[in-house]
Amino acid sequence: MSDRISPQQWGAMLAAAPPPLLAIDGGLIRRWSGTAATMEQPPLDHHYLAQHLGGPKQVRRQGEGGTITSDVAPGSVTAVPAGASFHWRTRGPIEFTHLYIAPRRLDRTIRETFDRDPRGIDVLPQIGWEDPLVTVLLTAICDPALDAGPDGRLARDSWFEALLARIVHNGSTLSPTTQRARNALAPRTLARLKAHIEANLAHEVTLDSLAEVAGLSRFHLCRAFRETTGFPPHAWLTRTRIAAARRLLRGGDQPIHEIARQCGFASPSQFATSFRKVLGVPPSAYRRSA
């Protein structure tokens, strides 16, 4: 364990200047381009997923398990467990997104979502892993546009939970016969969640706060919430904000920027974009027609 280094230390060792790291709960995101075609990857203290970008390429990995050469498609993922060390060579576009996952964070998902002791459950090393859900979730998590939305953090946390569960389900040594899932939310639980959201519209609503209100793990909350309402938590929250804004637009003459603030939007332009996306018209036009 002591010879493992952090993603930050590894980034400082590479020839290309390390781009900024985006931190999420138990994870780090970094997008790389222009690094050398050959690379020595030391053992890290994080698991990591590398999403291949820029076009098709050929990747050769040397290390434990021998030498493996694979043609990889854009959007596919290479998975490396914490502690593994490899020599890599890439022929093709040098462009990747790395998602580093703290082992303690993945262990939490194994315990809370799958009711298993994480000891002995390992991430499988893979090259060019083509799992459509992993690709979609990883792309969504790394989208910088999330940082501009009022509920971007909630969306990213929700997708990160789903991605971790998918890694354990399809990309680890966990036996699928031992897995279990919870059912839809009980009516009282859903009522508590709705009340919490309504009471905090002017503030940031986090996935942790919703999970605490529901008494569920973050993953189970996301799954049960979608099963019950048809929407993931962040989409429901946005629609609840819009519904509150509609009431204010119909019922008074408050300035639109004040309505945006009361409903938890960071700016009038953000409010207008979200409002138009849901209702098809901007707030000003909705007010005139109300």
The answer to whether the CB of 82 falls within 8 A of the CB of 46 is: yes
pLDDT by residue (tens digit) across 151-209? 888 888 999 999 999 999 888 988 554 343 445 788 889 899 999 999 999 898 999 99
On whether both 29 and 142 belong to a single domain, the answer is yes
Choose one of 170, 205, 226: the last residue of a domain: 170
Q: Does residue 13 lie within any of the structural domains?
A: yes
Residue 177: what pLDDT? Answer: 40
pTM summary value: 0.66
Residue 197: what pLDDT? Answer: 93
Q: Does residue 201 lie within any of the structural domains?
A: no
Token pair, residue 100, equals 């580093």
Q: At what angle do helices 187-199 and 218-229 cross, to 10 degrees?
A: 100
Residue 102 has pLDDT above 50, yes or no: yes
Residue 78: what pLDDT? Answer: 94
Query: Which residue reads 């109300």 in tokens?
Result: 290
Q: How far apart are CA 280 and CA 272, in angstroms?
A: 10
On whether both 12 and 116 belong to a single domain, the answer is yes
Q: How far apart are CA 46 and CA 287, in angstroms?
A: 51
On whether both 12 and 141 belong to a single domain, the answer is yes
Report the helix count and the strand count for the chain, using DSSP H and E: 11, 10
The Cβ of residue 68 has, within 10 Å, a number of other Cβ atoms equal to 15
- Number of domains within the chain: 2
What's the CA angle centered on 241, arms 196 and 194, to 5 degrees?
A: 25
Q: Does residue 280 lie within any of the structural domains?
A: yes
**Domain harbouring 280, CATH code:** 1.10.10.60
Token pair, residue 197, equals 């959201």
On whether both 12 and 143 belong to a single domain, the answer is yes
Residue 290: what pLDDT? Answer: 61
On whether both 130 and 242 belong to a single domain, the answer is no
What residues does 60 pair with on adjacent strands? 69, 89
On whether both 135 and 21 belong to a single domain, the answer is yes
Q: Does residue 202 lie within any of the structural domains?
A: no
Q: Does residue 199 lie within any of the structural domains?
A: no
On whether both 251 and 127 belong to a single domain, the answer is no
Q: Does residue 156 lie within any of the structural domains?
A: no
**Domain harbouring 98, CATH code:** 2.60.120.10
Q: Does residue 200 lie within any of the structural domains?
A: no
Choose one of 170, 205, 229: the last residue of a domain: 170
Choose one of 135, 155, 170: the last residue of a domain: 170
Q: 3-state DSSP call for residue 112? A: helix
Q: Which domain holds residue 268?
A: 238-289
Q: 3-state DSSP call for residue 94? A: coil
Q: 168-201 burial, b if ≥16 CB within 10 A, otherwise e?
A: bbebbebeeeeeeeeeebeeebbebbeeebeeeb
Q: How far apart are CA 36 and CA 67, in angstroms?
A: 19
Q: Does residue 131 lie within any of the structural domains?
A: yes
Handedness of CA 157, 162, 163, 167 (dihedral sign): positive
pLDDT by residue (tens digit) across 27-76? 999 888 888 899 999 999 999 999 999 888 999 999 887 888 888 888 89
pLDDT by residue (tens digit) across 207-262? 999 999 999 988 889 988 988 887 889 988 988 898 889 889 888 788 999 999 99
